Amino acid sequence: SDRWNDDPSKPIFIDRDGYIFAHVLNYLRYGSIELPTNLPKSMFQRECDFYGFTTNMASVQQDTSIGEMKIIKQKIDDA
């Protein structure tokens, strides 16, 4: 599209976070996603906005299980 590149024969370079982009791709593939605890919904939404598509935030869940939180706490304590 013209938004990304005036000359379609040239490659497009997008300097964004590859980790978040992987989750954006999965959202686009499946129409919903469960984000890991280390990826805030606000950051995910910002990336979707950057790429120019609307997200249904009701289909974006956040894994906040007690077990996951204990793992994170242990990693912090071990650091």
CA distances from 57 to 9, 17, 54 (A): 35, 20, 9
pLDDT of 9 > 80? The answer is yes
Q: Say if strands 60-62 and 33-35 run parallel, antiparallel, or are unpaired.
A: parallel
pTM higher than the cut 0.75: no
How many angstroms separate the Cα of 1 from the Cα of each of 7, 9, 17, 18, 66? 9, 12, 21, 21, 44
Per-residue pLDDT for 71 more than 50? yes
Over residues 17-60, the pLDDT tens digits come to 999 999 999 999 999 999 988 899 999 999 999 999 899 999 99
Residue 67 has pLDDT above 80, yes or no: no
pLDDT at position 1: 46
CA pair distance 55, 32, nearest whole angstrom: 9
The answer for residues whose C-beta is within 8 angstroms of residue 53's C-beta and 6 or more apart is: 28
